[in-house]
Structure 1
Amino acid sequence: MIQPIEFKNDKGLNLRGFIHRPNKYDTAVIFIHGFPGSMFGTAARVLTIFSKLGFLCMRFEFTGTNTSEGKFENKRMSQETNDIKSAIDFLEHNFKFKKLILVGHSTGAIDAALYAHKDKRITKSILLSGVSDLKHAVHYDFTDEQVNQFWSKGYIAYKCPGAWYHNKKLKKAFYDEFFTLNIPKSLKKYYHPLLIVHGSKDESVPVKEAHQLYKIANKPKKILIIRGADHRFTKKRHQLQLLWNLYRFIKKR
């Protein structure tokens, strides 16, 4: 069963998402979307299958993203990590489960890496198509022209017809956090099982980032490079390989 949800973040704004609820479960999975993505696409594909495998699944959209309240122009990664806590609080208050798995994709993997060590409720974490350092990531998310616009105008404007963020502005404060938030420092404080997954043909984030993440992380940890897969694991054979390995990691005691 899939049901829409709505809950408050720490600023009192409504965040919206979906719960995928099987008849029986003892493990919950929260999927954290990327930037400037949404809870649809990769998140929906993964959790639709996972709920059929017996996991309680949650996907939601961050503050200022698509269906959730807040302005896109005011987005911050620091707010997104606060949103993760609000999501877990909501899930814990409304459902009973024994284990909690945090899955982040792309910028969602950044958010997960920054947050996971802060919350003892998280049993395991999975980072998909992530980066090891935000100073690297700034060059993956923004072109040189966009960086120049941040400095000259104080914002950029997205021109992506058909996308939910078409014609929306993003203030420089989002860019600035790439130089203040610290993934290695956060990850070194995390001691629960960690799975790092990356496509060898990722066109957005080089696969070397996965190897660097693995080098930084504490044990127990595992890395999986899916041969030929792109940033979103769009081909069906890559999706199946991804899902199978995520399932094995989650179920392993």
Structure 2
Amino acid sequence: MSSVALNSGKPRELMIPTAVGNLNAALYPPEGSRRDYTVIFCHGFRGSKEGGGRASSLAARVAGLGFAALLFDFTPLSMLSAQVGELRAVVDYCRHEVGRQVILFGRSMGGSAALAVAAADKFIGGLCLWATPFDLHETFRLSLGDGYNRLLDGEPVSIADEFGELRLSPSFLHDFDRFDLLACATQVSGRPLLVVHGENDEIVPCRQAAVIFGQAGEPKSMAVIPGADHRFLHGHGQASAAVLAWLAASFPVGATDKPSCI
């Protein structure tokens, strides 16, 4: 039985312990009765667990299908390896406190972390990659412009954008080289995979999604949203509908549970 009570329709605020501190989280309890699944939402770089309210809205709809849905905040501006470690801690927490079976939903760089974790953890039940890059060097070259080249040259950079000031060290880029995310894509075979991408994504070109999809084994599906950019300012409803349909079809009520790792 889960240690965290799931008897309220409102999200419950949580603190998830990791090796370096606690992460803020919100748990949406499942509606109705189904298998013991938790969908963990992983936000993108510079993002937040709420996603401007859109991630929270999608999490509530996921809970409406009968899944527990957990949103959490990565440590801001952390390297990919740090995000992978934090996500592993969140997965362990959910398995012991919420529901034994875990599905990962990752947005942008959060999807890269989810891909790495799912490849290494064969008990992850499914994976949804939303605007997710496998080539993070290309993604940050497109998003940082000249700042990317300065980082490669060993110079820390400070950049002001619509979200505030961004300060990165060269190690942020070098850390990407610790991961072969295309190899990770081949290692998630046998578990349901959904790739969701915007046709006009200017930060993670749609061809990156096509390459990930091509590398992955079955069962898999892909939804390219016409006219959508990286942030899905257009087409968010269509993308969300694809996620909900995939969850309902891939994890139907009454299907046999896979063995738990605990």
Query: Which TM class, normalised by the smaller chain length?
Result: 0.7 to 0.9
Shift, 1:51, TM fit: 2.0
Could you say what secondary structure the match of 1:16 adopts? Answer: strand
Query: Do the aligned residues in 2 keep the contact of 1:101 with 1:250 (CA within 8 Å)?
Result: no
Report the residue type matching 1:14 in the other structure.
N
Aligned to 1:69: none
Could you say what secondary structure the match of 1:167 adopts? Answer: strand
Q: 1:17 aligns with which of 25, 32, 52?
A: 25
Aligned to 1:149: 150
Distance 1:84 1:178, change over 3 A: same
* Structure 1 position 240 matched with structure 2 position 248: no
Give ranges in structure 2 of 5+ residues lacking alignment: 1-9, 251-262
Distance 1:38 1:158, change over 3 A: farther
* Structure 1 position 82 matched with structure 2 position 94: no
Could you say what secondary structure the match of 2:85 adopts? Answer: helix
Shift, 1:212, TM fit: 1.0
Matches of residues 1-253 of structure 1 in structure 2 within 5 Å?
A: 1-11=10-20, 13-24=21-32, 25-26=34-35, 27-41=37-51, 42-63=54-75, 65=76, 72=77, 75-97=78-100, 99-143=101-145, 145-151=146-152, 154-160=155-161, 163=163, 166-191=164-189, 192-235=191-234, 238-253=235-250
Q: TM-score, normalised by structure 2?
A: 0.82
Give ranges in structure 1 of 5+ residues lacking alignment: 66-71
Could you say what secondary structure the match of 1:7 adopts? Answer: strand
Q: Distance in 1 between matches of 2:143 and 2:180?
A: 17
Q: Distance in 2 between matches of 1:234 and 1:245?
A: 16
Q: TM-score, normalised by structure 1?
A: 0.85
Distance 1:127 1:151, change over 3 A: closer
Shift, 1:183, TM fit: 0.6
Query: Do the aligned residues in 2 keep the contact of 1:19 with 1:59 (CA within 8 Å)?
Result: yes
Quick check: 203-212 or 78-87, which moved more?
A: 203-212
Report the residue type matching 2:209 in the other structure.
A
Shift, 1:168, TM fit: 4.4
Shift, 1:175, TM fit: 1.1
Q: Distance in 2 between matches of 1:20 and 1:10?
A: 25
For residues 158-194 of structure 1, give each alpha carbon's deviation from its aligned partner in whole angstroms, at most 9, with x where no partner exists. Answer: 3135x3xx23422111111233321111111222111
Query: Do the aligned residues in 2 keep the contact of 1:134 with 1:181 (CA within 8 Å)?
Result: no
Q: Distance in 2 between matches of 1:180 and 1:121?
A: 23
- Number of aligned residue pairs: 236
Could you say what secondary structure the match of 1:223 adopts? Answer: strand
Identity of aligned residues (%): 26
Query: Do the aligned residues in 1 keep the contact of 2:42 with 2:111 (CA within 8 Å)?
Result: yes
Q: Distance in 2 between matches of 1:247 and 1:215?
A: 22
Report the residue type matching 2:46 in the other structure.
P
